[in-house]
């Protein structure tokens, strides 16, 4: 995955300014053996707030699967989604 400037799709233009803030939580541990990310891990990887990342997951912008324990984001689909984002 090469570094590139990407533009995340916004469903509405009415998002509160703090929602676009970059990730500010602790650095999550990412197990290389797992095939999914948590919302927090994905937020860290794309440098978006956890709230906005969760919103993207819930509205289907970020591909994810709802489980009994919350949301799981398949790594392969997440990387494919990132690779297909329009460049800014």
Question: pLDDT tens digits, residue range 20-79?
Answer: 789 988 999 999 999 999 999 999 999 999 999 999 999 999 999 999 999 999 999 999
- What 3-state DSSP class applies to 56? helix
As a CATH number, domain 27-83 is 3.90.105
**Nearest-angstrom CA–CA distance, 76 and 14:** 31
Alpha-carbon torsion angle 13, 85, 76, 25, nearest 10: -50
Residue 74 in tokens: 């398949």
**Nearest-angstrom CA–CA distance, 75 and 38:** 10
Phi/psi for 53 (5° steps) reads: -60, -45
**pLDDT category, 6, cuts 50, 70, 90?**
low
DSSP state of 86: P
């Amino acid at each position: 995955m090469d570094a590139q400037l990407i533009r995340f799709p916004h469903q509405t233009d009415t998002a509160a300014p703090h929602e676009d803030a970059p990730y500010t939580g602790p650095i999550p541990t990412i197990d290389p053996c797992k095939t999914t990310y948590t919302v927090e891990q994905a937020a860290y990887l794309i440098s978006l707030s956890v709230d906005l990342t969760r919103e993207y997951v819930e509205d289907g912008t970020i591909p994810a699967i709802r489980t009994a324990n919350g949301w799981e984001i398949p790594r392969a689909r997440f990387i494919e989604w990132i690779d297909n984002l329009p460049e800014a």
